[in-house]
Amino acid sequence: MRAVVTRVSSASVEVDGEVVGAVGRGLLALVGVRRGDGVDQARELARKVHGLRVFPGEDGERSASDLGLPVLVVSQFTLYGDTRKGRRPSWVEAAPGPEAEPLVDAVVAELRARGAEVATGVFGASMRVASVNEGPMTLLLEV
């Protein structure tokens, strides 16, 4: 699994002109699932996202977990697009929807089990994602 995680002042996702998920200060996590990933990877990715120390604090860097900040999780199969050959991405590594959706749900469930407030997009929908990035601070996590 892979996630692009951005520290945000605010972020939202809309589907068909309606906001379906939004957070204030916190994290935006775009989550991609690779063929063959499983629940163990989903749990580990959630642990990493929630514990990622990217927020400044008086005593050093703090995590969303430390500060009680929310996470907006948006599924993004294109994180596994391969562009090494030609100009058209290949999606061979990306898990198909029926395999990927329950694993994105597992990331969300694990974040919530860890006490995080989590907002989400809609799996498989055409979404408009807006974010006001802080820093900017954007990292690629892989498990």
User: C-alpha angle with apex 32: 9 to 97, nearest 5 degrees?
Assistant: 125
Is 76 one of the catalytic residues? yes
Q: Report d(CA 79, CA 86) in Å as an integer.
A: 17
Active site residue 123: no
Query: Per DSSP, which regions of the chain are E strands?
Result: 2-15, 18-23, 26-32, 53-57, 60-63, 71-75, 118-120, 127-142
Annotation says 120 is catalytic:
no
- The residue annotated as part of the active site, out of 55, 76, 123, 138, is 76
| Active-site pick, 78, 83, 120, 138 | 78
Name the catalytic one among 6, 41, 55, 77. Answer: 77
The residues that are catalytic are 76-78
